[in-house]
Structure 1
Amino acid sequence: MPAWCEPSIEPSGGLRRRRFLGAAAALGLAGSSALGQDLTPHTPPPLELNMASRAELESLPGLGPSLVGLMLAARQQAPFQDGQDLARRVKGMGPKMRARLSAAGLRINGQPLDAAPAGGLRPASSPEA
């Protein structure tokens, strides 16, 4: 049997990798990209809608040139206050789109687009009998 076909007595590559990652974790390097893989979940950096450029906005999922144009035109009139303000002033900014853009890191005044207004929700008025 050729030498390259004989089983090796050294530990498998997977075991070596697990030992390496264990040692790296002990040294505080577990989430480091220096290990060749990022072990921490990826969260997109926040992007402020009232400050973002056209190119930054078009890079977000679901935003094309026409929708970005509507957003920029509305922003020129006045800065957006929150996600509800965006929905009122820009056609096509429904709850699903706002949730998608919030997940992609888009913010208004530091808040996600799908967040409740600062004053909270008002209770529905009940009809009096």
Structure 2
Amino acid sequence: MLKSLLSASLFTLLASVSFGSFAGPTKSADPVMVAAAQQVAPININSADAETLTRELKGIGATKAKAIVAYRDAHGPFSSVDQLLEVKGIGAATLEKNRAKLSAN
């Protein structure tokens, strides 16, 4: 009886150690993977708000972002990303820095 009690205790101890190794610490998302996932979805200039444009685009501050939204409200949706050049304060250099991140669809 003592032998079976020791065997059961030893089995329980070994089982808990082996199962514990499977439940390692959780990791947060890899920053490189997060950045890659964010680059997959372009920013739609026909639906993004001024905050999103300011946060996501290089060289676009609050004033330019509001100008983009105001232009869109006044003239309707952008037919292409190139139409951003018609917005006051948006030049070719700014457009080229952000072209890969943008869509008009």
Higher relative contact order (CA 8 A, sep 6+): 2
Equivalent residue, structure 1, for 2:5? none
Give the superposition deviation at 1:58. 0.9
Quick check: 1:102 aligned with 2:99? Answer: yes
Equivalent residue, structure 2, for 1:87? 85
User: Matched residue of 1:79: which SS?
Assistant: coil
TM-score (structure 1 length as normaliser): 0.48
Aligned pairs, number: 74
User: Cα distance 1:37–1:80, how it changes in 2: closer, same or farther (>3 A)?
Assistant: closer
Structure with max Cα Rg? 2
Q: Percent identity?
A: 26
Segments of 5+ residues of structure 1 without an aligned counterpart are 1-32, 110-129
Indicate the RMSD between aligned Cα atoms, in angstroms. 2.6
Quick check: 1:50 aligned with 2:42? Answer: no
CA distance in 1, matches of 2:31, 2:84: 38
TM-score (structure 2 length as normaliser): 0.57
CA distance in 1, matches of 2:67, 2:59: 14
Q: Give the partner amino acid of 1:54.
A: A
Quick check: 1:65 aligned with 2:57? Answer: no
Q: Give the partner amino acid of 1:83.
A: V
User: Cα distance 1:79–1:95, how it changes in 2: closer, same or farther (>3 A)?
Assistant: same
User: Cα distance 1:55–1:99, how it changes in 2: closer, same or farther (>3 A)?
Assistant: same
Runs of 4+ in 1 over 4 A off after TM superposition: 36-39
